[in-house]
Chain A
Amino acid sequence: MFRPLSLLIINISKHNVASQIKYSTAILPRLSSEKYNIKRKSFGTINESDINHFRSILSENRVITDESDVLPYNIDWIKNCRGQSKVVLKPKTTDEVSEVLSYCNSKKLAVCPQGGNTGLVGGSVPVFDEIVLNFSLMNKVISLDDISGALVCEAGCVLENLDNYVRQHNLIMPLDLGAKGSCHIGGNVSTNAGGLRLLRYGNLHGSILGLEAVKADGTVIDCLRTLKKDNTGYHLKHLFIGSEGTLGVVTKVAVHCPAVSKAVSLGYFGVNTFEDVLQLYRNAKISLGEILSAFEMADNRAICSTVKNLKLTNPLEDYPFYVLIETSGCDEEHDSEKLNRFLSKEMESGHIIDGTVTSEPAKMRTIWNIRENIAEAGLHDGYVFKYDVSIPLNNYYDIVLLLRKKLEGKYTNIYGYGHIGDGNIHINVTVPEYSKEVCDMLEPYIFEQVAKLKGSISAEHGVGFRKPQFIHYSKDESALRLMKDLKHLMDPNGILNPYKVLPDV
């Protein structure tokens, strides 16, 4: 494992300048097109007159062309994918988005819509020279109805900012995820992001009341209503929720925000076996009922490596599994009585070995922090193969064990963690650096296993650039055919987020 490194060092000393340049580019992820051997489709190539046209629509400083300025928009945050875009556009209004797209469509220029660029499947970065359409300047709240809880805002609003905003009106956002400090609501909607509150408030197909999107030809589709009930015609908004920017670009959304819970408690527990985790989940649903708002689990390696890599403190000793249970309600006394009764019972029955429980905001934040940082902490090991799958609960943890056996001696760490309440497990395989060998051992093996268990190969991360070739493990041929028809109908030139979601015929 150390040999290639020492060779590299020798190389540097021999041919100083040349190797150093080589070394510095080696820090960048490899080009996605080379790494995954993709061929560019026959789109137009951007030229000076296109750039000038964009400048005329957007003004000078919202058209970014400087190579080093464009670079961050080309790389995803897990440093897996790197595109070759030459230009980033930052529209401020729906009209500008419409003008840009209609121009791109007429010139067959491919476009990659990008929110906070926190995606995990390479869906938010270009593959070749697609124009990056960045929404960070469309960040205004348009209205908030504090009686119905309907928030209307632009697509580029950062989730955490929205959460802080609606909290002033005793509401919260119906979704919460580790990337909340950077991710955009438009991206959340386009990818149907899940996260930590899904157990309580359901997914975005339920929470999004309406939206406005722009089709590939620049047509603005206005479905921006704030009604809970609206059975008039086809429910078109759903086409834009989770289609990852391949059918249209979301520019505004109306979100239903639930009331903030006045009494929140968080417990963090050590559990001996995975069977106990499941038993605990079953009992929590019965005993905690309507106040149960999150049920998360992480295995020992997930927590221990996170704590070690990020220098955090684990409130508990070492246990094979950790479970996080959050309750949210409106009456502290009632909720804590319920929780305490549940906890005493579960301690007695041995499902919980040890744990801590708190309703102090600062302590709760510290505990959530450990759970939310698992995704990031893996990067400290070098490279992370990330899988986000749904598996029926009885076999939920099997794949982690299968992978550890199959990859013995080839990995730094393999761990599983996730949203038990949603049947969604994240499996991370960390290695010192990307290796084709490990990749080939993992894929499609892991997807075959998931298909065998009747799970989904992508629970909440989406398909993006990384998984179109595996989508058939989760979707029937008939469904895929209709998806392709839809794509052709809405984006005949295929300019929106190409190379993503749907496999080529």
Chain B
Amino acid sequence: MARVLVGVKRVIDYAVKVRVKPDKSGVVTDGVKHSMNPFDEIAVEEAVRMKEKKLASEVIAVSCGPAQAQETLRTALAMGADRAIHVEVAGKEYETLQPIHVAKILAKLSQDEKADLVIVGKQAIDDDSNQTAQMTAALLDWPQGTFVSKVEKTDAGLTITREIDGGLETIKTKIPAVLSADLRLNEPRYATLPNIMKAKKKPMKKVAAKDLGVDLTPRIKVISVEDPPVRQAGSVVPDVDTLVAKLKEGGHV
């Protein structure tokens, strides 16, 4: 029976249109709807399923961020996590929080909580870094299974199917290990009302990053955030000949 630690990040909801700040220092987050990173939802779902199959004894959800990160943790608890740890990072520090910091926090908490498995989403949909799982595994010196689309318990550890370019790769790993969840791993459940109610009573611990001994000095500096180029408007041509002429003109044929 393993204890599973799941990392969950609060990100701008994927149905919201993201706007770049006028000073190009980042994107507008004030008054914008946030929700749990969809890949982290898959990670939580997998951990909860492990618990339901009695492969895991306890599921702990962790989130690093300002007070609102607790909403994301409540969602994880409503999905079935047993308890939550909120690592409080706010203000300027949160703006420059980077995967290396989160990895250090997750590594430290894994040791403190005696976790056997860390599961995170393969990437967050806001910064698309895809680094946290890999860095966490390196810091702990544990094996890693990234882009996981299937996990099975075997005698010695886990058999993992990974999504790789043009196919699937099956690997075996011992535990403890770090996994990162890919899209096809599972379809996350909706938190049901009784579980949403129960989640309100589940324990949530608040800690500060510096209590975990993690230095939050930024390692990367964001120079500029820009909108993707706007697609040019098309035009209607009267007939095929003009179309062909235009295509030739543009060097397309």
Contacts and interface: CB of A to CB of B under 8 A. Distances in A.
B35 A352 contact: no
Instruction: Tell me if A's interface is mostly helix, strand, loop or mixed.
Output: mixed
B251 interface: no
B238 A61 contact: yes
B196 interface: yes
B14 interface: yes
B229 interface: no
Interface in A314-371: 315-316, 343-344, 347, 352, 354-365
B94 interface: no
B138 interface: no
Greatest chain A CB density within 10 A among B15, B36, B187, B236 is at B15
A264 to B, nearest CB: 9
A362 B190 contact: no
Interface in B1-42: 13-16, 31, 33, 35-36, 38
A390 B192 CA distance: 32
Contacts of B196: 356-357
B192 A362 contact: no
A52 interface: no
A313 B187 contact: yes
A262 interface: yes
A362 B13 contact: yes
Instruction: Tell me if B's interface is mostly helix, strand, loop or mixed.
Output: loop
B134 to A, nearest CB: 27
A347 B195 CA distance: 12
Interface residues of A, number: 24
A268 B192 CA distance: 9
Interface in B49-71: none
B31 A356 contact: no
A196 to B, nearest CB: 17
A316 B15 contact: no
A360 B196 CA distance: 14
B193 interface: yes
A175 B50 CA distance: 44
Contact of B13 (A267, A268, A357, A360): A360
A352 B238 contact: no
A363 to B, nearest CB: 7
Contact of B35 (A61, A267, A269, A363): A363
A356 B16 contact: no
Contacts of A315: 189-190
Contacts of A262: 31
Nearest to A364: B15
A359 B34 CA distance: 9
B194 A347 contact: yes
B109 interface: no
Contact of B192 (A356, A359, A363): A356
A355 B192 contact: yes
A356 B13 contact: no
B15 A365 contact: yes
Contacts of A268: 190
Given A61-B238, A313-B187, A362 B35 contact: yes
Given A61-B238, A361-B13, A354 B35 contact: no
B18 to A, nearest CB: 12
Contacts of B236: 61
Contacts of B238: 61
B194 A354 contact: yes
Contacts of A364: 15
A498 B194 CA distance: 56
Nearest to A347: B193
Interface in B175-229: 187, 189-194, 196-197
A359 B33 contact: yes
Contacts of A359: 33
Nearest to B196: A357
Interface of B: 13-16, 31, 33, 35-36, 38, 187, 189-194, 196-197, 236, 238
30 contacts: A61-B238, A262-B31, A267-B193, A268-B190, A269-B193, A313-B187, A315-B190, A316-B190, A316-B192, A344-B197, A347-B193, A347-B194, A354-B193, A355-B192, A355-B193, A356-B193, A357-B196, A358-B191, A359-B33, A360-B33, A361-B13, A361-B15, A361-B16, A361-B33, A361-B35, A362-B14, A362-B35, A363-B35, A363-B190, A365-B15
Interface of A: 61, 262, 267-269, 313, 315-316, 343-344, 347, 352, 354-365
Given A356-B192, A358-B190, 7 more contacts: A61-B236, A267-B193, A268-B190, A315-B190, A316-B190, A347-B194, A362-B38
